[in-house]
Structure 1
Amino acid sequence: MSKQPIGIFDSGVGGTSIWKEIHALLPHENTIYLADSANAPYGLKGKDKIVQLSIKNTEYLIRQECKLIVVACNTATTNAISVLRANYDIPFIGIEPAIKPAALQTKTNSVGILATKGTLSSELFSKTSGLFASNIKVIEQVGEGIVELIEAGQVYSETMRQLLTKHLQPMIDANIDYLVLGCTHYPYLMPLLLELLPNQVKIIDSGAAVAKQTKAVLENHGLLNMQTDKPQNTFFTNGNPKVMANLLDDKFEVNFLNF
């Protein structure tokens, strides 16, 4: 099974930020990436719909004989991963906002989190936030409109700049010193975020941690690919392939899949 691919799915192209971290850490692993861009963003959908879409994505990747599935979507993880783990006999890696390191390291006792409505309103996020951030001020900001712009290929547009400025201002006013990115689309905004935020604000995303956890789980299950052949990395989307190809620097072919 070790040569079978790692499956990765997201509500859209954002999870490619997670794929990049996994590929950098595990360069010999074969991967299949599935972007459900036709249904993005998941963050505006109800829990039942998010679970339904996550099951659909999971079953597609299982049919492709994936050995492990990375749920590269905060909203899908926080709303559906417990259902997936209960119903499928395959290891799952989830992703949720890295509120813990921000809460432990803040000096101003004020941190910001930019995420989707579906993530911020989830039971899992509430539990994690209550466990680690009960004694600090957490400025929660729904990133309304951000995913839609990224899915439309407008990462660095003036519209995006204005939207981010609006979303970040309440956090700046609250003197945050950490900003947690709670959506896998958001790391692509790093250049804009660094420009718009005060210099003392540190930005945290979960990509590197997810890659490390993926490696650890593969090792524990004896599933690491020890071959050094050139890996096969396959990308599927039911949205516009050019948007994802651009985020991958046009180094990989992106295939349209009607699913």
Structure 2
Amino acid sequence: MHRPIGIFDSGIGGTSIWKEIRKKLPFEDTIYLADSKNAPYGTRSEVEILELSKKNTELLLAKDCKLIVVACNTATTNAISYLRKNYSVPFIGIEPAIKPAALQTKTKKVGVLATKGTLSSSLFHSTSRLHAEGIEVIEQEGKGLVELIEEGKENTGETEALLQSYLEPMILAQVDCLVLGCTHYPYLMPLLKKILPEHVQIIDSGEAVARQTKAILEQENLLTTSTKKGEFKFYSNAEVKVLQSFVQEYWTSVDYLDF
């Protein structure tokens, strides 16, 4: 079925998910919405997050998307149950990868770096209870990190100092797995590798989300039959230059869209 996959996030972070989907499903068309005007979602109320998620969903449905990836941990944990109940297309969500971390940890200590909106959600707590029994989960709100990445400052001294302050307690607690609970955070990988001891595994959800997207498309008989490289469109409702810089290797343009 040659209709696009829709992807939305509170800014540029979800492009880390888009890149994994592109690798796994190169013939699928995609439409990416960056709601940068309203970033970060992590500091907003559950009601606000739900309204923004509904708005993004309806815009993607208006563009004939056959499946929607909620490429935002905060929107997933606060809104995906509602979206699945109230819209007819399949939804793929993203939540912190507690389960693989719990399976891999040897010290029985796992760090989670996420937004306030994700850490305070009922879905996050139920996932932690389900998969992390007997594991000490050290939670840390990454306050200010999304804003710095949205400004294109993901590899600056300012960001490094802030990240160091968040990771130091985890290092002292001897975590051996760090779960990235925000799709913006994979763009901090060079700094994370610089700050963390070598033995600490960094776990994010991108590849797993791409696998799940493919599986659901197959299950619902929605995979494209095209053998041409898929087309992709990027839209932002704020300054497009930062989003453009995160996808520049694909030689594509980012269009401004007032939504």
Q: Which TM bucket (shorter chain)?
A: over 0.9
Normalising to structure 1: TM-score of the pair? Answer: 0.98
**Alignment gaps of 5+ in structure 2:** none
Corresponding residue of 2:37: 38
Corresponding residue of 1:246: 245
SS in 2 for 1:85: helix
Segment drifting more, 249-258 vs 142-151: 249-258
**Matched ranges for 1:75-86 at <5 A:** 75-86=74-85
Identity of aligned residues (%): 62
Distance (whole Å) between structure 2 residues aligned to residue 152 and residue 233 of structure 1: 23
**Matched ranges for 1:170-249 at <5 A:** 170-249=169-248
Corresponding residue of 1:73: 72
Corresponding residue of 1:255: 255
Moved beyond 4 Å, runs of 4+: none
Amino acid at match of 2:66: K
SS in 1 for 2:80: helix
Amino acid at match of 1:258: D
Corresponding residue of 2:88: 89
Corresponding residue of 1:160: 159
Segment drifting more, 242-251 vs 107-116: 242-251
Post-superposition offset of 1:20: 0.1
Normalising to structure 2: TM-score of the pair? Answer: 0.98
Post-superposition offset of 1:136: 1.2
1:5 aligns with 2:4: yes
Give RMSD over aligned pairs: 0.7
Amino acid at match of 2:212: Q
| CA offsets 1:3-34 (integer angstroms, 9 cap, x no match) | 10000000110000000000000000000000
Post-superposition offset of 1:258: 1.0
Distance (whole Å) between structure 2 residues aligned to residue 239 and residue 103 of structure 1: 38
| CA offsets 1:24-74 (integer angstroms, 9 cap, x no match) | 000000000001000000000010100000000000000000000000000
Amino acid at match of 1:252: T
SS in 2 for 1:130: helix
Corresponding residue of 2:58: 59
Distance (whole Å) between structure 1 residues aligned to residue 115 and residue 12 of structure 2: 15
Distance (whole Å) between structure 2 residues aligned to residue 135 and residue 47 of structure 1: 30
